[in-house]
Structure 1
Amino acid sequence: MSYNRVLVRVYAVRRRSVRRLVVRICRALEGGEMTSKTLREIFRRFHDVDVGMYSHGGCFELYAFGPKTTIGRYSSIARGAFAATLDHPTGRKSMHGYFFNPRLGLVSDELSYSPLRIGNDVWMGYNSIIHSSVNEIGDGAVIGAGAVVFKDVPPYAVVVGNPGRVVRYRFDEETITRLLAERWWEKDLEELDPAAMMTPHMGIA
């Protein structure tokens, strides 16, 4: 049995200390979390969090991102970032977990998680929070440290504050349109010229 299969089976043990150890081993054996395929398989299988290649950081913190979260490629997620895909049921008589969480033994129906897509080349700052009302963070967006986001974020927008608000865009509209069409993030790292990544005006071909 390959080490990959062993790590996945060990991770199935529902103990945080064991799971944190497996995450550390994956990082050590596979060149870090930016390129670890085993980490991505584990988070997809056990947490329903799909992390694109080369993305790194808080996306591999246990339970930091809710089920049905998809994170694109080359995204940078600071430690302490958090994204909820489920909220307490404020329209019910009680919002307590006993009355909406089947794992606590009193109810059988579980609330539905809301899908969340975090795009490619997104930067989420330290302690930033994405509320369950958000469905999409666009490609190239920046979520500032400590921001609390309640609405979808357009591509290449910079969002700060609580509640989060767009304060500017990283580039002009023409450049954003070209970058979205270029889709450079679909290329693997060895296919990209580092010099071409220094300016948005230089093509990657």
Structure 2
Amino acid sequence: MEMRSFEEFLAKAGCNVARQSLPLLQSQLSVEPPIVLTKQFRSDLPVHIGAFSKIHGPGLMAWTKVGRFTSIAPHAVLGGNEHAIDWLSTSAVFEAPQMHGWDSLLSSTNSPRKFEFSGAVKCVSVGHDVWIADGAFIRGGVTIGDGAVVGARAVVLSDVPPYAVVAGNPAKVIRMRFDDVTVEKLCAFQWWRFDFAAVSQADIRDPRAAVAQLEDLEASGKIAEYSPGYVNAGRFR
């Protein structure tokens, strides 16, 4: 049956997306169902979310790309606006004079000039199977590698390696989740290619054994990659 709205599609595809400040149809949201998204996001910027990821509000996402099986806790902020700290003023009103309609309060002879700040918003790229804990801040332009863990209240200002555990302000690597051989195996196999029913056929409590089991299952044709495809709001306009 043809879907009449983006919201209807999301509901039928098992996606729980909270009401935003603007209609979803006006957004640049793109999802690979199913997902949970109860965090506010910038409707004027691209937001891509992979299957089986859960992103809980409150909090904010700007220009963000999230992989599969990723968990983002409440109060986390991903890619907030940057301000030009080497200009005369740090205020964003010089980048967007029309903000709040303040420009209309000025006389025509003092019409404000607009200045472009190219570094205002940069994409945050979050890999697969990432856990970002409560209240973390991820700076725009940062990449969080597959399997990484970001501790609560961490301030992440630089890229995080795959399977690293980071914490603090500024965030630093405090340990790796697994040894180098296991990390290399996990990154090469990319178990998130499958849905969670397929993955659960292996004993996930032992990562290296689980990869070996999934390799056998894939080789025998007992599991196949999950490929539902992405759907975006533009399809329903």
RMSD of aligned Cα (Å): 3.3
Identity of aligned residues (%): 33
Matched ranges for 1:78-97 at <5 A: 78-84=73-79, 86-97=81-92
2:131, 2:19 → 1: CA distance?
29
* Partner SS, residue 34 of structure 2: coil
1:125, 1:165 → 2: CA distance?
15
1:63, 1:46 → 2: CA distance?
17
Shift of 1:21: 10
Counterpart of 1:101 in structure 2: which amino acid? Answer: A
Contact 1:50 1:71 in 2 (8 A): yes
- Which protein is bigger by CA-based radius of gyration? 2
* Partner SS, residue 5 of structure 2: helix
What per-residue deviation string (whole Å, max 9, x for no partner) do you get for residues 55-86 of structure 1?
1123xx4771112x111100000011111253
1:88, 1:110 → 2: CA distance?
8
Q: Give the aligned length.
A: 182
Q: Decide which structure has greater strand share.
A: 2
1:117, 1:173 → 2: CA distance?
23
Matched ranges for 1:24-35 at <5 A: 35=34
Q: Pick one of 51, 54, 57 that aligns with 1:53.
A: 51
2:7, 2:123 → 1: CA distance?
30
| Larger displacement relative to structure 2 (134-143 or 79-88) | 79-88
Shift of 1:193: 2.4
Shift of 1:201: 1.5
Counterpart of 1:66 in structure 2: which amino acid? Answer: A
* Partner SS, residue 20 of structure 2: helix
Q: Which consecutive residues of structure 2, in runs of 5 or more, have no partner in the other structure?
A: 10-17, 25-31, 104-111, 216-237
1:138, 1:22 → 2: CA distance?
31
Shift of 1:103: 4.5
Q: Pick one of 175, 179, 188 that aligns with 2:186.
A: 179
Q: Decide which structure has greater helix share.
A: 1
Scaled by the length of structure 2, the TM-score of the pair is 0.66
Q: Which consecutive residues of structure 1, in runs of 5 or more, have no partner in the other structure?
A: 9-16, 24-32
